[in-house]
Amino acid sequence: MKEAGGNVTRLTDLLREQSSQGALAPDAKNHIHSVAPTGLPLSPPSPTSSVAEINWYQRACLELQGIKRAVQARQPWPLDEMTRIASGIVASIGAHDKLVQTVLQQEAGDYLIKNAVNVAIVSVKIAEALRYEPAKLERVALAGLLHDLGMFLLPDSVLYKSGVLTAEEREQMKEHPQHGAHLFREAGDVYPWVGKVILQEHERWDGSGYPSQLTGSQIDEVALIIGLADVFDALMSARPNRSGGSPHRAIRTLLVEGKTVFPHHLLKALIDQLSIYPLGTAVRLNTGETGIVFQLNRQYPLRPILQVVQQALSGQSPVSKTVDLRADTSLHIVEVMPLGSLSVESR
């Protein structure tokens, strides 16, 4: 990894450099464009297209599905497309909040694949709050996408088991960081920091994590960021053996239970970026009106901007109004409502 003048080399630049030197991972030289599960090439965007307009969420899911199949078949897999996706995710997040909204909506799908993409997106948002430069944000995105690489080696009977895992199965699960780091080393040493993050992502600030029970500054900060994003997503996501929760409840749980396992500045960064009331949260006001959070007031996390449902005349569709709780101090949120309990249509 090259650094000059304190600047981190961008992933795409490093990929081009390694390619020119013939130093790509095994089989990567024959895969300029990775192949999606559909058999169609996943080409990089054309120069005239906006990188923020591409559906990077879907593209990441397709590529991860392909990597999962390759790992399970013990076949080599290239990194070049995943590197482009990491760069695209960072560019998209810099342009708008669509990817964050996708994470918070928790749509159906393979939870293992969705978790990897969700963690990458939330990790980039946390790192943005820490003022990481764009090239380092790309590092965070790539490590987030591949943080659970070792899970792909586990049998589906364990990964998607609906009942309680046995002690042996839990031990299998806890070995996935070592397996993931080993798999990444086999793919090549172009991005050595990723293997370190994969190995440490389940370590916790107070030493309660695994596999090495590291504490405090022994743990790479990017690994802690990805670990926090992973827990946040797990608290929201439905799994085969449990139901999911709302983004609001996930934030509250982390504030109460995460104080010893994650450093304060990372928890603060998460809240600064997603708020106590994340985008899409349904709420009730002290007036009895209901609304949905559609924009955050960064400096006032308890006072977001809402689309509030207005009563419609008989036979007419409900309409909504915009309410900025920062501007209207007579209003405040008294209750978070269940997911899907109301919908808002713009006027």
pLDDT tens track for 42-80: 334 444 345 556 899 999 999 999 999 999 999 998 889
Whole-angstrom CA distances from 164 to 39, 97, 148, 170, 230 are 36, 36, 20, 9, 20
Q: Is residue 308 domain-resident?
A: yes
- For residues 300 and 199, membership in a common domain is answered with no
Whole-angstrom Cα distance, residue 216 to residue 285? 41
Of residues 164 and 146, more confidence is placed in: 146
Same domain, 312 and 233: no
The answer to whether 83 touches 11, Cβ cutoff 8 Å, is yes
Domain check: are 325 and 267 in the same one? no
> What percent of the chain is predicted at pLDDT more than 90?
44
Cβ proximity of 177 and 200 under 8 Å: yes
Say yes or no: 114 and 97 in one domain: yes
Clarify whether residues 255 and 328 are in a common domain.
no
345 located within any domain: no
Separation CA 288–CA 190 (nearest Å):
56
Output the domain CATH number for residue 18.
1.10.3210.10
pLDDT at position 140: 97
Alpha helices for 175-321 (secondary structure H): 176-187, 192-200, 221-236, 247-257, 264-274
Report which of residues 42 and 266 the model is more confident about. 266
How many domains does one find in the chain?
2
* 271 CA to centre of own chain: 15
- Global pTM? 0.76
Question: With 80 as the cut, is the pLDDT of residue 233 above it?
Answer: yes
pLDDT score of 240? 63
Do both 185 and 319 map to the same domain?
A: no
Quote the tokens at residue 139. 């590092």
Q: How far apart are CA 229 and CA 144, in angstroms?
A: 9
Largest CA distance in the chain: 71
Confidence class of residue 4 from pLDDT cuts 50, 70 and 90?
Answer: very low
Q: Is residue 341 in some structural domain?
A: no
Do 267 and 307 belong together in one domain?
no
Q: Calculate Rg over the CA atoms of the chain.
A: 21
70-79, 191-200, 208-217, range with greatest mean pLDDT: 208-217
Same domain for 293 and 250: no
Mean pLDDT of 143-151: 96
Residue with more model confidence, 35 or 170: 170
Segment 155-167 mean pLDDT: 85
Residue 346 lies in a domain: no
Q: Cα–Cα distance between 230 and 115 in angstroms, integer?
A: 7
Assess whether 67 and 182 both reside in one domain. Answer: yes
Q: Is the pLDDT of residue 304 over 80?
A: yes
What are the start-end ranges of the H helices in 110-220?
111-129, 134-145, 156-159, 167-174, 176-187, 192-200
Q: Give the separation between CA 251 and CA 235, rounded to whole angstroms.
A: 9
Indicate whether 347 belongs to any domain: no
Site of tokens 């926090």: 228
The helix (H) or strand (E) run that includes residue 336 is strand 333-336
Domain that holds residue 330: 282-336
Label residue 32 by pLDDT band (50, 70, 90).
Answer: very low
**Beta carbons within 8 Å of 218's beta carbon, 6+ residues apart:** 203
Judge whether 244 lies within some domain. yes
At 102, which helix (H) or strand (E)? helix 98-105
